[in-house]
Structure 1
């Protein structure tokens, strides 16, 4: 580790542009994409903002830690899927759930009712060909100017990265699962 001297001056100038809704992408092979998106959702909820989270791969009955806290603070989370593809008994049904879910998510974004809409794990139905990429791009382009949208998932299409305002790639360095350690409640679920 190299020791650094703390900055003595602010390392940036305050931006002069207008405040507006952002497109935020959390992608990459590392852990933390959904966790970061939920952090945004809880932050906005804590500020009294209207937030909706759509989870494209989680089942509607999912009760992970984020769902339990979301219930406590009044954050709306909706599972749209039937689990990951290797658990699906009918991939066409999974694809239809994604399309039906996208109709709900797109309507929520375009309604202007929400300060932030999270599209958790939306990249999977996109890269599986279950959702038309152009529909997502059109919704992002047509959203009301004050609506923020956060998209998560591995292998985010470049076309979404190109229109996004902020893109973070979570890079896998090391993961406990690779060492044979199972998912830990409260950490991964």
Structure 2
């Protein structure tokens, strides 16, 4: 008899817990729905991915692939990477070039090229191409991959970038800028800023960049 009572008490307690959980979630949903009801505006966002952690470009390409999946035109300009093939570039050029224009304008990192004048010229050419693509109203999103590095080394003037994005970017065009050490001026005008924090990285354990992870 006592075992039956114990089982009954346990079931009652479980039912009470479920009821409390349901009530809590209902209140949370009502509060969330109230907040979401006020979010009605749309605009082209300035999005910055920065920080020492891995994943800045990967996250940006995730948004590019979302655009492609929705049939929206987009474009990519790579300011630094260029010496090696990457999975994202190969996939886009092979299957989605009708939806995503892809320009690899860099020739590698500055310590690889060892030619500052050429690096500056390539960065300037990439910036001119970026402005052309952003001005094109058919592009819903433009990714400027590793532009923050070119800005950091003063290959591109941050004032010019801020002025263009503030005054010339079409209202509904999203622009994503990636790379470490994003300038404060860029962060100030951005709508969305994510800083990738480095906690651990296999490179520090002697593991090299690997296909499908880094490129």
Give TM-score, length-normalised by structure 1. 0.92
* Number of residue-to-residue matches in the alignment: 184
Q: Write out aligned runs for 1:124-163 (5 A).
A: 124-141=149-166, 142-163=168-189
How far apart are 1:38 and its partner, in Å? 0.2
**Paired residue for 2:3?**
none
Separation in 1, partners of 2:105, 2:210: 24
Q: Write out aligned runs for 1:1-189 (5 A).
A: 8=25, 9-10=28-29, 12=32, 13-14=35-36, 15-59=38-82, 62-71=84-93, 72-74=95-97, 75-141=100-166, 142-189=168-215
Separation in 2, partners of 1:62, 1:50: 25
Runs (4 or more) in structure 1 with deviation over 6 Å come to none
Unaligned runs of 5+ in 2: 1-20
Question: 1:25·1:161 contact (CA, 8 Å) conserved in 2?
Answer: yes
Cα RMSD (Å): 1.7
Question: 1:110·1:139 contact (CA, 8 Å) conserved in 2?
Answer: no
In our comparison, the structure showing a higher alpha carbon Rg is 2
Separation in 2, partners of 1:41, 1:112: 16
Secondary structure of the equivalent of 1:135? helix
Question: 1:27·1:170 contact (CA, 8 Å) conserved in 2?
Answer: yes
Secondary structure of the equivalent of 1:117? strand
Separation in 1, partners of 2:40, 2:191: 13
How far apart are 1:153 and its partner, in Å? 0.3
Q: Which moved more, 1:101-110 or 1:30-39?
A: 101-110
Secondary structure of the equivalent of 2:135? helix
